[in-house]
Amino acid sequence: MAEIKMQDRGQTTWKDQIRQAVDSTMSNPLIRDFQTFRDDLKQKAIDVWERGKDLTYQLTGTNYKARGNKLGTAYEKGAIYNELERRTRDQRDTQSETRKPDTNRPDSTQSDHERNQELSGHANSTTKQATNRIDRTTETNRTSQSARQSSLSEDLERFKQQQRDQQRTISRDAKRRAKPLQRADKDRQSKDNRRTAKDKQRPTGQQQHVENPKRQPKPDRSRDYGPSR
């Protein structure tokens, strides 16, 4: 809910900040081990540590943190370690190639024609190596780009599913809360209907309260019996 509110206000969530920092760190080809990876993220105000089978990222000085599997497949422990190991292996191969003795050094006894052929062959091999490296780098970039795109699509689908679940929960709670009110309205309506029906059954000119009959005046009997004594 906090992420949804921040996105509605147009703010960047802490998960997006962590993703951007990790992407910036991994774009640096000099990051080849986990310690360097951790130090570079530390400079970007991101703390990272191993926790079980995954990594945990946290904004420095806050309680906002998330595990790698919650950010995407490209931010999990396995993906980070595999990329760092690949870079270390490529560096080791490059250093071993530079340390090999130069067996293609031209011999003074060779003729100019033979020397030119060797040089042309060496140039072709160098071109092939550069082409192979470019192809391998392109394939790596495509793989990482496809992995990031898949992780973003998975995160978007997971976010949509969370929104649908929250909407179902809200509608279900609203229906549950509305049932007692609807029942009370029905009872009140039925009572009003019964009262209206009773009022209709009563005669129109009937008086609800019967008035007390007027008292008749007492007859004057003094005339019959003579004057009173």
**For the segment 179-197, what is each residue's pLDDT rounded down to a tens digit?**
777 777 788 888 888 778 7
**pLDDT reading at 36 higher than 80:** yes
**pLDDT reading at 45 higher than 90:** yes
pLDDT tens-place string over residues 82-107: 999 998 898 888 877 777 665 555 45
Average pLDDT, the chain: 76
Residues in the chain, how many? 229
**pLDDT reading at 55 higher than 90:** yes
Closest by Cα among 109, 128, 108 to 120 = 128
pLDDT of residue 191: 80
Name the pTM for this structure: 0.41
Nearest-angstrom CA–CA distance, 119 and 106 = 9
* Residue ranges per structural domain of the chain: 1-94, 120-181
